[in-house]
Structure 1
């Protein structure tokens, strides 16, 4: 018993000589064994994560410095261009005359073909990028729509299909017409004139290729920046 009292007195004497020990004891008695008010240790990234972040940051800086995108166009001739952020589609809307509404949906580049290179490097090849267009021409709510499926190449526009659509009352298996190339040359020419008068022509194809080149850079930068932000968290 005496030895127990002696050990207790020794601890009290030690704590009285050491105020920090008393403070720690009081905090423990009040809050339990947990320690409060201590800043958490910052999370450290693994070497692998740090390397990914560094590479992505360098790539974003490089793209912004050497191939910076510009602000997307909002108008082209009579069309209003609606940028679809984060999507692979852009929409153009316009009117022709008093009653026709035009709506064009163009994809980002969805294909290519290789062609022989011209000039001195005749042994090489060039790549022609391709994008697809759907052109809808309507005349009033609930009326029929004429729809053209087109291919846009860097220098021009080709019509692939022509449909006459009856929105909301299509047959289960409608006849959609022949392949456009199976039509006579005269009919094909008239359809190209029809589209050209409405601004759907080679000039539009050239614009869309330039637009999509810029959009491709914008979306790439957004994608890399989002990846970097995710790894950094």
Structure 2
């Protein structure tokens, strides 16, 4: 009987020891990178640095090329009676002026777009056929109750072309208001009178020449600024 109890006690101790072993924390040895892994990481970092240095060098070379062609220039703040807002970092500029006793005129001019003439039968359009133009929105304000007379125009190197003319509220447009017929469908005399309306407010051939020169400078300035921002980002360390 005594021997039987001893065996039971030994079995209980072995079982308890087995159960406790399940709860022993596992100690994982620290894994140090092997010399080969360290070497690969070093080589990878060197390649990354060399790649980023190459990007920066190409950007700096391109910026220097542009500066050698012509220096950066700040856009003038006035042209005739218009004040000029360069809108640095954006794709457009704004011009404002007062006209008469109660009119305010605002121009919003976007950067260059490219137009290709209609292709003729059997002919190909080449780079020499392409022509740059500027999109311009002309807003004429009188008072809070009269709304805004708005012109959508294309500014070519030697002329202004009205594409659309309509009235809108000062708070903008909601829904799908009637914007009138295509401008070229209007009576010829009415078309001519609307061109005279703009010209009497200083929106004329002189302004055309100024805007094209102005947007050439802006395109260059924004391009160099854009390249510089990318170069700075690539150079930034974590």
Give the TM-score taking structure 2 as reference length. 0.71
Contact 1:153 1:206 in 2 (8 A): no
Provide the rounded CA distance (Å) in 1 between the counterparts of 2:174 and 2:68: 54
Provide the rounded CA distance (Å) in 2 between the counterparts of 1:53 and 1:105: 35
Name the counterpart of 2:72: 69
Show structure 2 runs of 5+ residues with no match.
Answer: 1-44, 119-125
Task: Map 1:118-133 onto structure 2 (within 5 A).
Answer: 125-133=128-136
Provide the rounded CA distance (Å) in 2 between the counterparts of 1:124 and 1:150: 24
Name the counterpart of 2:204: 201
What do the CA deviations read for 1:59-91 (whole angstroms, capped 9, x no partner)?
112211222231211111110001101000100
| Aligned CA distance change for structure 1 residues 168 and 90 (closer, same or farther; 3 Å) | closer
Name the counterpart of 2:183: 180
Shift of 1:140: 1.6
Q: 2:143 aligns with which of 140, 143, 162?
A: 140
Tell whether 2:98 aligns with 1:95.
yes
- How many correspondences in the alignment? 185
Provide the rounded CA distance (Å) in 2 between the counterparts of 1:230 and 1:169: 38
Specify the SS of the correspondent of 2:160: strand
| Aligned CA distance change for structure 1 residues 142 and 169 (closer, same or farther; 3 Å) | farther
Specify the SS of the correspondent of 1:149: strand
Contact 1:156 1:203 in 2 (8 A): no
Name the counterpart of 1:152: 155
| Aligned CA distance change for structure 1 residues 73 and 170 (closer, same or farther; 3 Å) | closer
Name the counterpart of 1:228: 231
Residues 211-220 or 50-59, more deviating: 50-59
Largest Rg, 1 or 2:
2
Show structure 1 runs of 5+ residues with no match.
Answer: 1-42, 116-122
